Structure 1
């Protein structure tokens, strides 16, 4: 199959227009159209439904577009590996993790990474959806559970627990609960039980909900929970890695906490030799060591 025709087909399918694809490829509309028709003749099928508003992929076109999209991601990965220098760290690195861990732990420490590698360009993608690393949706992931895919290099970084925290101002005004039954006099701040979150945190929330909680504020990520807690709205369910960066938070009912949650760093096997990945991995491991040391001292 003609690689050039596949490249042009992919651009047309991605743009949904011969004209826009031609602009991207620096080709005329007629040249793009000829290449697409040539590919259709080679495959003996129509790849697009053509109408006045543009082009829509046929079922056969969708199948081919899925293949060219996967191929494009693989080529991008190969190009990234080729660009990795023997001695320098530069270029784009796409990192994915959860909104809570990314905003509350990782992002505040990123300045140290850029001090070491000023030419690195990090694309930090924060979302609860687990991105597909082998399909090149991201280069590196930090996940609050062990990755299930077999073709990933993984490193266990640390464990965290979900605990109860409040601000000194809130406690001064409302008192400090001494047992779970006292929560009837307090506002609980947490994620919704049905929201996408760490299983251990969910189990803790379900346990708390069994008590007579009259006032409740739910937020769809830990960053929002933290903002509500530091602004004196109530007692929040938060990960214990916050204690280093928010030392004023008061731990409530120390015996009430979730089970341990493992934190893993993972990346595709094909990026094992990547200088960019190695630099990021080294940075995270150094920060974990520093984090653990400060916890022991506190």
Structure 2
């Protein structure tokens, strides 16, 4: 096949379809009709003389050949981005896309509510947040930055500890009025308890004490959705095992006056390639600073009970109350 037959616009369309796993979704993003997108993929397959997607009513999936094509197209996109940066005028706003992979808690509940601050300073940077129970491989296509539990030790991977997530029990006022309050950690087994499936995996690796309680407690509800836990707990469904900072986010949740169940460390990881991208470097630095803010005392090594939070922040970081109310 002659290289002259390859068209960058067609390759760009292929890249978007691969990212979204849907020709209809790609058409919506690119402002074209689904038949036009389908025709361009047909043209690409004809030029390459190979099938790049398996198509079904549920969407499209890359073939092995398609995965190889995507690796080259990603490299071409990076080269095009480097060319754009090299020729743009000094002081131009950073632009470009970056993918952030996170767990169900930190991403949606701590980072996403603060992204408006990032975008006010960097309006041309597009962030794609992917939420999963499993830690992302930052060497795989489409995974630029990962925030996950457990330190990564892969070659050519840069990792920084962001903090410690402390797990405590929460319940609604109505549930505690009906079922009573556990006097100590050993009384959890008397209650309906709610657990996130990924928390179970995290504490197995990092908190042996929590493993003991898991064996003692017959959890009434286990799910991979933080929202499901919060809503069930807030509506008298039982005692939810949640990160300590949730007490700041939902006034319906009452923290139990008991010690933490588990402290679990978490890291930000990325590759040198992503660090060299201006949008990658901006997002990495912003996330690291996010966990150094006064209100991020939740993530210190030392556990701060939700009921002691305001007092502790004032003791350690005077004059921060205004920023806490605004966050």
TM range (shorter): 0.7 to 0.9
What does residue range 140-179 of structure 1 map to in structure 2 within 5 Å? 140-179=145-184
Match of 1:69 in 2: 70
* Aligned pair partner of 2:278 in 275, 280, 295: 275
If the length of structure 1 is used for normalisation, what is the TM-score? 0.72
How many residues were matched structurally? 269
TM-score by length of 2: 0.67
- Is the alpha carbon distance of 1:194 and 1:170 closer, same or farther for their aligned partners in structure 2, counting shifts above 3 Å? closer
Question: Using the alignment, how far apart are the partners of 2:198 and 2:133 within structure 1?
Answer: 15
Please identify, of 162-171 and 202-211, the stretch whose mean Cα deviation from structure 2 is larger: 202-211
| Equivalent residue number for residue 105 of structure 2 | 100
**1:232 equivalent among 232, 236, 243:** 236
Separation in 2, partners of 1:21, 1:227 = 40
Provide closer, same or farther for how the CA distance between residues 63 and 288 of structure 1 changes in structure 2, counting only shifts above 3 A. closer
Aligned residue in 1 for 2:259: 255
Shift of 1:221: 3.0
Q: Name which of 125, 131, 134 aligns with 1:129.
A: 134
Deviation of 1:177 after TM superposition, in Å, equals 0.6
CA distance in 2, matches of 1:169, 1:63: 54
Distance in 1 (alpha carbons) for counterparts of 2:203 and 2:213: 16
Task: Report the RMSD for the aligned CA atoms in angstroms.
Answer: 3.9
Determine which structure has more spread, i.e. the larger CA radius of gyration.
1
Structure with the bigger RCO (C-alpha within 8 Å, sep 6+) is 1
**SS in structure 2 at match of 1:155:** strand
Q: Quick check: 2:104–2:132 contact (8 Å CA) kept in 1?
A: yes
* CA drift at 1:216: 1.0
1:283-298 correspondence to structure 2 within 5 Å: 283-290=286-293, 291-293=295-297, 295=309, 296-297=312-313
Q: Is the 8 A contact 1:100 1:223 kept in 2?
A: no
After superposition, the Cα gap between the structure-2 partners of 1:192 and 1:145, relative to the gap in structure 1 and judged at 3 Å, is closer
Q: Secondary structure in 2 aligned to 1:133?
A: coil
In 1, Cα distance between equivalents of 2:257 and 2:110: 23
Q: For the residues of structure 2 that align with 1:98 and 1:176, how far apart are their CA atoms?
A: 30
